Structure 1
Amino acid sequence: MLTLPAPAKLNRMLHITGRRDDGYHTLQTLFQFLDVGDTLHFSLRDDGEIRLTPALPGVATEANLIVRAARMLQAENSCHLGADIRLDKRLPMGGGLGGGSSNAATTLLALNRLWKLALSEDRLAALGLQLGADVPVFVRGHAAWAEGIGERLTPVELDTPWFVVLHPGVTVATASVFNAPQLTRDTPPITMARALQGGAPAWRNDCQTTVCERYPEVSKAFDWLSGFAPTMLTGTGACLFARLTDERQADSILQRVGSGWHAFKAKGCNLSPLHAALGCRAVSAKGRAKAL
């Protein structure tokens, strides 16, 4: 059995810079991992079957990104091996934490190792992109400045504070946010150096105003959490995160969370916990930029 984490991510900032003819939005964002996430357990099968347990409510098994990733890897390599996969789900679905994309990336990396396929990281990232724009950053495994639809990645070093992540008990439909007439779609592009130099106080999420207008529960949770520390939406939500000075502050906030909300504390990570578990080394200093 191979047991590996599927870590959450935060968008430390998110600018929407345009909309392509195919409907996808162009963006600039900073991805960072958390030391909290789902866990996946893989056991080898020799009959080619992919069996996932338990089923996720509202998600057909064959539509699950874990199964789709496994099937794609089989097809890519004409592989006749299979796997029993068990998912310990911790991250809320539709929360903006990248749970499904992270699950897919962990599956690609795990089965590449379990099935001894020896595919390169570049190839796995390319396969991951076919499953979703956020999958490649989880495959690459390092905090990153992202452009395009989120697939053009440059490794970066960000501060690694403690966070409280708060889910206000609603599911935000990503499509409804990106289709909203009032969504900001014309933020002028900036350079990575400018984004990093501005740092946390200057960072924002262009989706936040739209989400708070459409989901009063998110707006209420934002107002509450921002009373303790600088707070921002991650992705299209519904999760919010507060950047904190230390773990004790996180514990103090968690003691005050009301019923109906789910919250947890986490530490920011520049190297993905998945890659740490696999024994992958961090990107060399020459290949990454650092926030000032």
Structure 2
Amino acid sequence: MIKIGETYLENCPAPAKLNLFLHVTGRRDDGYHLLESAFQLLDHSDLLHFKLRSDGQILRTNDVPGVPQESDLVIRAAKLLQRHSGSQLGAEITLDKKLPMGGGLGGGSSDAATTLIALNRLWNSKLSRQQLMELGLKLGADVPFFLFGQNAFAQGIGEALTPLQTPDCWYVVIEPGVSAPTAAIFSSKALTRNSPSIKVSDFQRYPQGTWKNDLQSVAIQLFPEILAALDWLNAYGTAKMTGSGSCVFCACDSEETANQILKNVPKKPHSWNAWKAKTLHQHPLANWLAD
């Protein structure tokens, strides 16, 4: 449960997302890829805790393996908001990391978005949702989605967002034990960049249709562990990879079905971590965002 005080905010969720599909439709002159995707929020989250400082310092209080403090998106987001708002206040930030890095679940971007939302409130900076989204885009293409506050159909480089109604369901997600670097996937010569554009209405008519992730074929060539997880999960439905990998997922019609799949996940020879999550229709902190 989120705890709110004048000088602290505790247990602030940074939820995972799934890309229900991901098409690469082109590439801009500056190298950024043009995408279309459907973003789905899940009730599986990192947790962040914030404590107000009056001296302007921004500090992370705990170690996060593989993420030096100076390059952490959480710290970068806090400093960006501090500069933009002119706040003289600071914060101590603790990050309880549950979402895997290089998993395609948007963990780092979600952490950054939650930091912007929470410190905007704690510092009383009074930036609007749109202002925070514009700041978030400077940190990464997925950050604006988590500030948008609800599931979305994404276009452009991921920043052009349209509200999207998605069905209630459960998902089984498998972390296949590898981290897929986004840059390696997008820079691959094997990546096609000419998928035909679709409309929001096309996806809403057939949300579980034949939509694919264009990055998946590249990722499974580089990481056979992803292919092994997809092959196994396909026995229970249509399995797909999310984002640029490495996590794969499958929709379930009930929690009971998800539990049954989890019971069958092989423990060897793979080093998989599997879990279930329910769909969310809005970000847990959406009410903290002012239009």
In structure 2, the residue matched to 1:288 is none
Where 1:100 maps in the other structure, the secondary structure is helix
Q: CA deviation at 1:246?
A: 0.4
TM-score by length of 2: 0.93
| Cα shift readout 1:134-155 (whole Å, capped 9, x = no counterpart) | 0001011110011000000011
In structure 2, the residue matched to 1:211 is 219
Please, what is the CA RMSD of the aligned residues? Answer: 1.4
In structure 2, the residue matched to 1:61 is 69
Q: CA deviation at 1:117?
A: 0.8
Aligned length: 280
In structure 2, the residue matched to 1:145 is 153
Counterpart residue type for residue 55 of structure 1: D
| Distance in 2 separating the partners of 1:13 and 1:75 | 36
| Distance in 1 separating the partners of 2:265 and 2:53 | 44
Counterpart residue type for residue 87 of structure 2: C
Counterpart residue type for residue 191 of structure 1: K
1:236 to 237, 244, 250: 244
In structure 2, the residue matched to 1:74 is 82
Counterpart residue type for residue 52 of structure 1: R
In structure 2, the residue matched to 1:49 is 57
| Distance in 1 separating the partners of 2:149 and 2:60 | 24
Where 1:47 maps in the other structure, the secondary structure is coil
| Cα shift readout 1:149-197 (whole Å, capped 9, x = no counterpart) | 0000011111121000100000101111111111121001122212222
| Distance in 2 separating the partners of 1:53 and 1:171 | 25
In structure 2, the residue matched to 1:105 is 113
| Distance in 2 separating the partners of 1:84 and 1:256 | 42
1:263 aligns with 2:274: yes
In structure 1, the residue matched to 2:286 is 275
In structure 2, the residue matched to 1:224 is 232
1:118 aligns with 2:126: yes
In structure 2, the residue matched to 1:162 is 170
| Distance in 2 separating the partners of 1:58 and 1:248 | 35
In structure 1, the residue matched to 2:140 is 132
Structure 2, unmatched stretches of 5+, are 1-7
1:33 aligns with 2:41: yes
Which deviates more, 48-57 or 223-232?
48-57
Alpha carbons 2:175, 2:272 under 8 Å: kept: yes
In structure 1, the residue matched to 2:19 is 11
| Distance in 1 separating the partners of 2:283 and 2:240 | 21
Q: CA deviation at 1:58?
A: 2.4
Alpha carbons 1:137, 1:144 under 8 Å: kept: yes
In structure 1, the residue matched to 2:3 is none
1:190 aligns with 2:198: yes
| Distance in 1 separating the partners of 2:281 and 2:74 | 24
Alpha carbons 1:7, 1:274 under 8 Å: kept: no
Moved over 6 A (4+): none
Alpha carbons 1:231, 1:241 under 8 Å: kept: yes
| Distance in 1 separating the partners of 2:61 and 2:276 | 27
| Distance in 2 separating the partners of 1:48 and 1:204 | 46
| Cα shift readout 1:3-51 (whole Å, capped 9, x = no counterpart) | 2100000001111001111111101000010011100011111011111
Q: CA deviation at 1:265?
A: 0.3
Which deviates more, 195-204 or 19-28?
195-204
